[in-house]
């Protein structure tokens, strides 16, 4: 017994180790599942790639020219004391701001409206619908009447020149090409293309979406990225199921962007022209006043020429007059710009060309203008309350405050220069006191006239230059690559999908088999027995397809009969030779085949010429007698126990199938089966039977339900615990495990019953004995090699 347990424990440890050969062998038995799974996975992958909506990738490139002049007159006028107005159109572009604008909802909304993308035409198929573009036989014009539009789906039938528009509720609206279909949220106008005669019913359909829904889908499909961190070139990528329509959508988006970019520059030029016009009106009025005063002075004083004596002094004074003129001109321009930006409400572009020659001051004005332009672009994508816009407002206010401080400092410098120049001029004037007073007044009027005239001519020149520059203004962005779709759709990716389908076709059957094994609570394979008990499997009995209770007879050669012969052989190695042996057959519950095993084991032992008696000890639910066609109530065990007779031989009945096999039936069902088994008379009965028979086969009650088998166990030489495939629970093996561990069951073995020959059924693994049921069956008893293996396993038993 000790050897048996050690052998079993060692075998269990080997079984629990990871055995790749065993796993491969187990999986290979279900090769057809993996083949079906792989074929099915590839078929599903084919169906998916065949009917899934394709997605084409459309690519385009544009570049942002930060330093490009906005118009033909982009260069600065060299040698001019005034700054060129065309500088207003030379605005640096921020590439990241352009990315935000290209992906803004406003630009996408304009694209949707321009192309009416919220109306989508499809060609219907058996499984899916394909979006059409110019290949559609009709087009749909959408006229929105409400702010919100619910999604609508319509089928189209064209018959005899008439259109039938059918909604999802089945309502049919008949109309002609070009007629208006009035609906509650919108109107539809369907126009047939030339050459269209008939279309099958529901072969085409169209869908109406809200602009917001379409803008959202386009936003998810559009991606704009810098090609390089040091570059201002933008890569536009757009995904769409129809390649031609996708190219048109992206081209329209880029064109609207370029148009908006150019309009921003024209807006700056218009602001400059408006400012110049206002200054021209003021300067013209001042010039007319000076000329009128000079004309009146000459008339009043009859002046025609300047005295030759004052030419020398006047020549010296002329130089200072010119300096005063230049200083006053710059001071006038500074005052005008100071008034322009002093109003915080004024958010218009500052005409930087009216600034003075100081390059630092000019750069500050240019930066202020850039901030205003960037803010205008941000308001296209964000509201005024957005933190991004508020941050831009704060930057503009800081720049404006800095400009005001710069203006104050600069005007103070101009006033100081003007004061110094006038002081010099006063010194010269004092030296020419001898010059007539009228001449001095004349020179003063002449100087004022010259100043106003120069300023007036300057403004006229710059107005003309700005107008010409406005007309020739181009966008600071330009297209490098026009939108172009890839030749093949990038989704679905056939190779990847086929690979995934094939892998899943192999993985899912394996996962199914693994999950089935984890969830299987009943005994299916021999490994289920081995992993749940240390007891050896002594015999394996196949499924009794005939349904007969007795399959072992003298000339029986079927599979089940041969398996009982193998069990008989195995018993030779665990029983004591030359003496009478008592074999008890029990199980965990009813229905596992105890009575079937007992009857056929008795029959196969009787075929060897040994005298065998069967004891029907399942007193509560006797079945052995029924299987053999005998009435268990007719003089059985209970009759013997309650009678005064001491000879058990009177109650033993012969069987019809063997002269060496006998039966002691249970008798009438007693009220106290356990007490009868505890009686001393039962021990006397067992002693009598041992003297008369070579083998005593006891069909006991299930050990998992009552204690009868435990009472009988002290009289037995071997205990056979029957488990039935797909019937006995794995947990029920713990019943016999506990009994063996507690010493209540000695010399116990497992009999596997009702094994079905099928794929995935019961299999023997690794034993040198046993039938190997499930690998094929050979007629006849075990080979010499099998018997030799059994002999080695049990040769140490007493």
Q: What is the largest CA-CA distance in the chain?
A: 181
Predicted confidence (pLDDT) at residue 10 exceeds the cutoff of 70: no
Q: What is the predicted pLDDT for the residue at 314?
A: 64
Distance CA 629, CA 627 (A): 6
What was the pLDDT predicted at 179?
Answer: 82
Distance of CA 689 to the CA centre of its chain: 76
Mean pLDDT of 483-507: 88
Radius of gyration of the chain (CA): 55
Determine the Cα–Cα distance for residues 625 and 614; give it in Å rounded to an integer: 10
Q: What is the DSSP letter of 85?
A: G
Q: Are 651 and 638 in contact (CB under 8 A)?
A: no
Q: How far apart are CA 602 and CA 506, in angstroms?
A: 49
Task: Say if residue 24 is exposed, middle or buried (CB neighbours under 10 Å; 0-12, 13-18, 19+).
Answer: exposed
Which among 225, 222, 220, 250 has a CA at the least distance from the CA of 235? Answer: 225
Q: 307 pLDDT band (50/70/90 cuts)?
A: low
Pairwise pLDDT comparison (506 vs 147), residue with the higher score: 506
End-to-end CA distance of the chain: 9
Region of poorest pLDDT, from 108-122, 274-288, 616-630, 674-688: 274-288
Compute the average pLDDT of residues 557-570: 91
Give the integer Cα–Cα distance in Å for 585 and 701. Answer: 9
Task: Look at residues 192, 193, 188 and name the one whose alpha carbon lies nearest to residue 208.
Answer: 188
The separation between CA 464 and the C-alpha centre of its own chain, rounded to angstroms, equals: 60
Q: Report how far apart, in Å, the C-alpha atoms of 795 and of each of 198, 274, 750 are.
A: 93, 119, 19
Q: Is 538 a residue whose pLDDT tops 50?
A: yes
Q: What is the three-class DSSP state of 753? A: strand
Cα separation, 469 vs 73, whole angstroms: 6
Report CA-CA distances (Å) from 513 to 27, 420, 509, 741, 760: 8, 104, 6, 33, 10
Whether residue 683 has pLDDT greater than 80: yes
Q: Give the pair of three-digit tokens for residue 618.
A: 């399942």
**534 backbone dihedrals φ, ψ, rounded to 5°:** -95, -5
Q: How far is CA 759 from the centre of its chain?
A: 39
| pLDDT (tens digit per residue) in 747-792 | 999 999 998 865 444 554 333 333 333 333 333 334 343 344 344 4
Domains of the chain: 2-52+492-519 (no CATH), 64-76+91-97+114-243 (no CATH), 539-775 (3.40.50.300)
Torsion over CA: 118, 123, 124, 125 (sign): negative
Closest-CA residue to 159 (of 204, 210, 106)? 204
Q: What is the pLDDT of residues 122-164, one digit of tens each?
A: 887 777 788 888 888 888 888 877 667 778 888 887 776 677 8
Give the C-alpha separation, 55 to 131, whole Å: 11
Length of the chain (residues): 798
Give pLDDT tens digits for 691-717. Answer: 999 999 999 999 978 888 999 999 999
The pTM of the full predicted model, rounded to 2 decimals, is: 0.52
Residue 472: Cβ-neighbour burial (10 angstroms; 0-12, 13-18, 19+)? middle
| Strand-pair partners of 308 | none
Provide the pairing of β-strand 172-176 with 119-124. Answer: unpaired
pLDDT in tens, 159-185: 766 778 888 777 778 888 888 888 877
Question: In sequence order, what DSSP letters do the residues of 538-600 get, joined into one string?
Answer: EEEEE--TT--S----TT--SHHHHHHHHHHHHHTTTSPTTS-EEEEEEESSTTSSHHHHHHH
Whole-angstrom distance, CA of residue 240 vs CA of residue 64? 26
Residue (of 743, 777, 787) closest to 757 by Cα position: 777
Mean pLDDT within 54-67: 83
List CB contacts of 241: < 8 A, sequence separation 6 or more. 53, 54, 55, 56, 130, 131
For residue 473, give the DSSP letter.
-
As a whole number of angstroms, the distance between CA 793 and CA 574 comes to 10
H helices of 302-310, in order, are none
Phi, psi of 346 (to 5 degrees): -75, 110
Which of the residue ranges 30-39, 231-240, 260-269, 581-590 would you say has the lowest mean pLDDT?
A: 260-269
The 3-class SS string of 112-145 reads HHHHCCCEEEEEECCCCEEECCCCCCEEEEEEEC
């Amino acid at each position: 017994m000790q050897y048996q347990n050690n052998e079993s424990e060692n075998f269990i440890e080997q079984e629990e180790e990871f055995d790749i050969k065993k796993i491969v062998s187990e999986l290979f038995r279900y090769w057809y599942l993996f083949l079906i799974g792989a074929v099915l996975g590839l078929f599903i992958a084919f169906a998916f790639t065949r009917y899934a909506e394709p997605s084409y990738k459309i690519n385009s490139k544009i570049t942002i020219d930060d330093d490009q002049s906005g118009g033909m007159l982009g260069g600065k006028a060299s040698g001019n004391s005034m700054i060129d107005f065309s500088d207003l159109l030379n605005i640096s572009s921020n590439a990241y701001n352009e990315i935000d604008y290209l992906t803004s909802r406003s630009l996408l909304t304009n694209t949707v409206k321009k192309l009416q993308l919220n109306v989508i035409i499809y060609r219907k198929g058996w499984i899916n619908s394909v979006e059409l573009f110019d290949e559609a036989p009709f087009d749909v014009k959408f006229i929105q009447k409400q702010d919100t539009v619910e999604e609508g789906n319509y089928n189209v039938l064209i018959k005899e020149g008439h259109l039938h528009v059918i909604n999802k509720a089945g309502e049919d609206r008949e109309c002609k090409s070009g007629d208006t279909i009035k609906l509650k949220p919108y109107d539809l106008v369907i126009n047939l293309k030339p050459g269209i005669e008939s279309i099958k019913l529901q072969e085409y359909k169209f869908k109406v979406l809200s602009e917001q829904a379409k803008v959202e889908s386009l936003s998810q499909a559009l991606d704009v990225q810098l090609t390089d961190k040091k570059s201002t070139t933008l890569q536009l990528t757009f995904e769409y199921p129809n390649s031609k329509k996708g190219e048109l959508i992206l081209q329209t988006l880029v064109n609207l962007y370029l148009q908006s970019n150019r309009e921003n520059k024209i807006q700056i030029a218009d602001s400059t022209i408006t400012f110049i016009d206002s200054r021209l009106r003021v300067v013209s009025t001042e010039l007319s006043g000076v000329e009128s005063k000079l004309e009146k002075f000459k008339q009043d004083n009859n002046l025609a020429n300047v005295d030759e004596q004052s030419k020398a002094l006047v020549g010296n004074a002329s130089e200072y007059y010119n300096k005063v003129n230049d200083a006053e001109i710059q001071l006038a321009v500074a005052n005008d710009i100071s008034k322009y930006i002093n109003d915080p409400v004024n958010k218009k572009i500052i005409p930087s060309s009216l600034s003075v020659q100081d390059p630092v001051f000019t750069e500050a004005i240019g930066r202020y203008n850039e901030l205003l332009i960037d803010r205008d672009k941000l308001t296209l994508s964000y509201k005024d309350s957005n933190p991004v816009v508020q941050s831009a407002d704060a930057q503009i206010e800081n720049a404006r405050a800095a400009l005001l401080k710069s203006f104050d400092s600069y005007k103070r410098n101009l006033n100081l220069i003007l004061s110094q120049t006038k002081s010099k001029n006063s010194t010269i004037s004092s030296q020419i006191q001898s010059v007539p007073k009228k001449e001095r007044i004349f020179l003063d009027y002449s100087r004022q006239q010259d100043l106003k005239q120069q300023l007036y001519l300057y403004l006229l020149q710059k107005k003309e230059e700005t107008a010409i520059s406005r007309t020739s203004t181009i966008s600071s962005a330009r297209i490098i690559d026009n939108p172009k779709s890839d030749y093949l759709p990038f989704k679905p990716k056939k190779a990847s999908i086929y690979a995934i389908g094939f892998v899943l076709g192999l993985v899912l059957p394996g996962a199914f088999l693994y999950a089935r094994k984890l969830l299987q609570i009943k005994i299916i394979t021999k490994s289920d027995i081995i992993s749940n008990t240390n007891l050896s499997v002594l015999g394996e009995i196949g499924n009794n397809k005939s349904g007969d209770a007795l399959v072992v007879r003298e000339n029986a050669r079927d599979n089940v009969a041969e398996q009982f012969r193998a069990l008989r052989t195995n018993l030779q190695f665990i029983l004591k030779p030359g003496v009478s042996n008592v074999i008890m057959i029990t199980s965990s519950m009813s229905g596992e085949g105890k009575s079937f095993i007992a009857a056929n084991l008795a029959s196969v032992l009787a075929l060897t010429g040994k005298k065998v008696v069967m004891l029907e000890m399942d007193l509560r639910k006797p079945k052995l007698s029924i299987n053999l066609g005998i009435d268990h109530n007719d003089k059985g065990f209970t009759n013997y126990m309650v009678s005064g007779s001491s000879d058990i031989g009177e109650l033993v009945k012969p069987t019809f199938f063997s002269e060496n096999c006998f039966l002691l039936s249970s008798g009438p069902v007693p009220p106290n089966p356990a007490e009868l088994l505890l009686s001393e008379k039962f021990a006397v009965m067992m002693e009598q039977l041992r003297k008369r028979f070579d083998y005593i086969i006891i069909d006991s009650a299930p050990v998992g339900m009552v204690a009868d088998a435990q009472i009988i166990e002290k009289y037995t030489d071997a205990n056979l615990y029957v488990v039935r495939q797909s019937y006995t629970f794995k947990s029920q093996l713990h019943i016999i495990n506990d009994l063996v561990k507690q010493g209540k069951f000695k010399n116990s073995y497992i009999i596997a019953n009702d094994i079905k020959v099928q794929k995935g059924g019961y299999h023997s693994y690794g034993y040198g004995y046993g039938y190997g049921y499930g690998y094929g069956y050979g007629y006849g008893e075990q080979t010499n090699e099998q018997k030799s293996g059994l002999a080695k396993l049990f040769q140490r038993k007493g």
